[in-house]
Chains A and B, each alone.
Chain A
């Protein structure tokens, strides 16, 4: 079944934030908001669930720390122990201070890179992916709110959105659900 959505365009992030709050207060369903830059607090205003990316980042950091410890233990203690600066590599714990920079760097490296990759996968982004934003102006200076028309009266909804400060309102027939 073809569903109707309304695209409301805004030109200011403060007006957009107020509009999002008003639209949600009226219990209309916001499908998505496209913005040229991250807007602070927009996720909370839209009622999106809190990201779990931080948890994955912590776990990746733990993996990185473990990799660093095992790697340095193998390289510097087990496989090829050397006497550097009068500190023979007989045990990991005794030489631990010199491995701390590596432990730190690999923790950060794993946490950062794997978190970014997770983010790409979770947002379904990959090379040559076709852009999803419905209006190119959202990459420049416009903010677009996509509201599900559902069973609401389209004209009434459109005029309501106009009152929230939208500069342009379009009614779109969607043939299939993108989401």
Chain B
């Protein structure tokens, strides 16, 4: 049995408290009026001037451009920035909430695949996977609350939730039978409810199988619900990705978006399984997990990273090549305003894993896997960031106090929930019919 050490508990609580305080500060720092935005921007320009004359020249040029517009033109710009900055803490909260939720969801899908394919290598890792999916419960509830608040326009994350915007937008009007507050939260409730339901029964059957492995009755039940869940999952995950991410840009659409988000959550989930397994091994637990298991997880990290790149590129190239205005604007915004995170994410999610994890021997070296894993997780955080921020805060983005605090809050919660769930059951699912094969898994 795993016992949660006081240090880890304290660490996660500190992360949560710091994150919460930081978020409150972040929400408090939101500008309340256009005047405050002007002050902030003036302060920022003066600050920039201290570093180099070129920047002063640039901002001077910018002001000239605004001067040529009519008097109100300047104010609409500031109002625009005001809305973006008011959105920023909400958006960063959403990015972090979704990111940690998607890790748990990716692990749930991976877990279901292990059952549906009757894998022999992985049962020794089942308790780690079950513990990570425990985060689905608090993470899902928090995500649902944020989604409900956004769907009913308490904040301005989704433009389609703003009745004034919709009144002047024929394209969103055409989509409003799908994109409306009630439809949005009912769908979210169905998706989250279905996933949590599977999670509940899968874990329950897995524990029952330990108590009573006679005839593998519970294992067969796990197999059946896992297969059914995977069918449910791939439809709902795809629709959830339209609702929860693609609808930030309600004019834009991409047919493989669901797959793309799936690849992202899948690789993040597998990476987290590897990281937590290696951590537990370093603490002397999971003695039955050998380096062949780590090797297999690292192969998945490598393979799914490339799969993610393949989908990213398939989406990018077709849109870039056909150059249809309403499609290509999505990437133009990202390349112009988000150049560093956009291309940096490609390096972190593709070039780094392909070079570091290509060698077969490196996939067995724990610190190599940990290093690659941390870069992959950061890369996929930035991936989610790139999917959400351009539509919510536009060019007013920066990694500030609210982004870091939101990550800290949810990381703390994630660690707390996952490691507490690990203490609930023996780390070896001894009743699993493939447990001997898994213990002796060697390649």
Q: Which residues of A contact B (CB under 8 A)?
A: 40-41, 54, 58, 85-87, 97-98, 100-101
Contacts and interface: CB of A to CB of B under 8 A. Distances in A.
B443 A40 contact: yes
A17 B358 CA distance: 29
A41 B442 contact: yes
B358 A98 contact: no
Contacts of A54: 359-360
A43 B317 CA distance: 43
Nearest to B359: A54
Contacts of A97: 313, 316-317, 320-321
Contacts of A40: 443
- The 7 A-B pairs with the shortest beta carbon distances in the complex, nearest first, are A97-B317, A97-B320, A98-B321, A86-B323, A85-B321, A100-B313, A85-B323
12 contacts: A54-B359, A58-B358, A85-B322, A85-B323, A97-B313, A97-B316, A97-B317, A97-B320, A97-B321, A98-B321, A100-B313, A100-B317
A86 B324 CA distance: 11
A97 B331 CA distance: 13
Interface in B25-40: none
Contacts of A100: 313, 317
What interface size band does chain B fall in?
Answer: 10 to 19
Interface string B398-425: 0000000000000000000000000000
Nearest to B317: A97
Interface string B311-346: 001001100111100000000000000000000000
A107 to B, nearest CB: 11
B82 to A, nearest CB: 36
A58 B313 CA distance: 22
Nearest to B320: A97
B1 to A, nearest CB: 33
Interface in B279-334: 313, 316-317, 320-323
Nearest to A84: B321
Interface string B213-236: 000000000000000000000000
A45 to B, nearest CB: 11
Contacts of B442: 41
A179 to B, nearest CB: 27
Contacts of B359: 54
A98 B317 contact: yes
A41 B316 CA distance: 42
Nearest to B310: A104
A41 B358 CA distance: 21
A97 B321 CA distance: 8
A86 B325 CA distance: 13
B309 to A, nearest CB: 10
A40 B442 CA distance: 10
A75 B322 CA distance: 22
A41 B322 contact: no
Interface string B71-91: 000000000000000000000
Contacts of B322: 85
Contacts of B316: 97
A72 B443 CA distance: 41
A134 B228 CA distance: 52
